[in-house]
Amino acid sequence: MTKAFQPEVLKHFFEDSFKKLDVPIEIYYPVIDGLIQTSLRGVDSHGVRLFPHYIKEVISARINKNPNFTFTKKAASAMILDADNTFGISASVLAMKKAIEIAKDTGVGAVSVINSSHFGAAGIYSLMAAKNDMIGMCCTHTESLVVPYGGKKPFLGTNAITFAFPCEEEEPFCLDMATSTVSLNKIRKYKEEEKEFEDGWVVNKEGESCIDPKEEVYLSHFGGYKGYGLSMIIEILCSILTGMNFGPQIVPMFSDFEKKRHLGHFFLVIDISKFQDINIFKKRLKNLIDSIRKEPVKDGFNKIMVANDPEKEKFKFRSKEGIPISEIDLKNFKEIADLLGLDKKILENYKNVDFDS
């Protein structure tokens, strides 16, 4: 059994924390909403467990809680947003809204973000476009965490990318993935819980696969040189195109808190109606998805799923039962409450749920 919190409980605690630090609502609200929605979808590595980290970034002044967002129009379909070193989630929501606005006018909207920070789960933003009957794509780089194909030392980041497409009669098709086999936050979660890694997730200093959570390890790219190549493309879009640092030059997420991270992100939106009737598109995508789901299933699998199917199932379950919080994460929440002088009683408002049934 695991402690489960209703979203409203966590939202209340998070709001009190940000208010205590005088973070404006227009800056903190997208962060809270993004973290909670991500956890409801089952992407725990990028969900509410990151809240204490974001609070520490505000306290250390790495995060600018009063940013001066600046958009620079470069062409009819292209803009740059200077995030002024605030929360990556807040800046990215703003960037995707602008890309959607541009796409409604010109058919395609592209926005690059500079001087940003960690932007949470990439799917937050592609789904925004899909729920506006558009195709959404975005990507981000991170610090050096992943060993290049054939190498022994990290260079590129986990470099996430996402695409989302609106679909008839159900939530959008959404692919949201890192180019590493797993995310850094998932590895941190396994280390905290002293759980063995799965084979192929990480490598040791010799570049060999490792499952021991006590060893110092580096991440590996999925699919060998193919994942490595895709990671390079994301690095180009987020580092070279934006003018931000790349690879080893990027400030690490969980150290050097006195330094700004200056991350770059890239957002692209396509207005489907400029190419095809939106209802026809959604109907045909529904047909494609359902056709794949009906394909024969091999031994060991219950059914064939497509991207976002697992997240849809978890969202339905967690919206009713609550968001699971590990003992370690609950301890971290209580430490934040103590640090900010907040009442911890709200964190006793949970129920025990079997999330494995």
The verdict on residue 121 lying in a domain is: yes
The verdict on residue 294 lying in a domain is: no
What is the tally of structural domains in the chain?
Answer: 1
| pLDDT tens-digit readout, 138-158 | 999 999 999 999 898 999 999
Show the domain range for 12: 2-166+173-180+221-288+327-349
Q: Residue 307: CB partners within 8 Å, gap ≥ 6?
A: 173, 174, 175, 176
Q: pLDDT band at 357, cuts 50/70/90? A: low
Its pTM stands at: 0.94
The verdict on residue 232 lying in a domain is: yes
The verdict on residue 78 lying in a domain is: yes
The verdict on residue 95 lying in a domain is: yes
The verdict on residue 205 lying in a domain is: no
| pLDDT tens-digit readout, 267-302 | 999 999 999 999 999 999 999 999 999 999 999 999
| pLDDT tens-digit readout, 225-272 | 999 999 999 999 999 999 999 999 999 999 999 999 999 999 999 999
CATH of the domain at 36: 3.30.1370.60
The verdict on residue 227 lying in a domain is: yes
Least Cα distance to 207 among 151, 148, 146 occurs for 151
pLDDT surpassing 90 at residue 205: no
The verdict on residue 68 lying in a domain is: yes
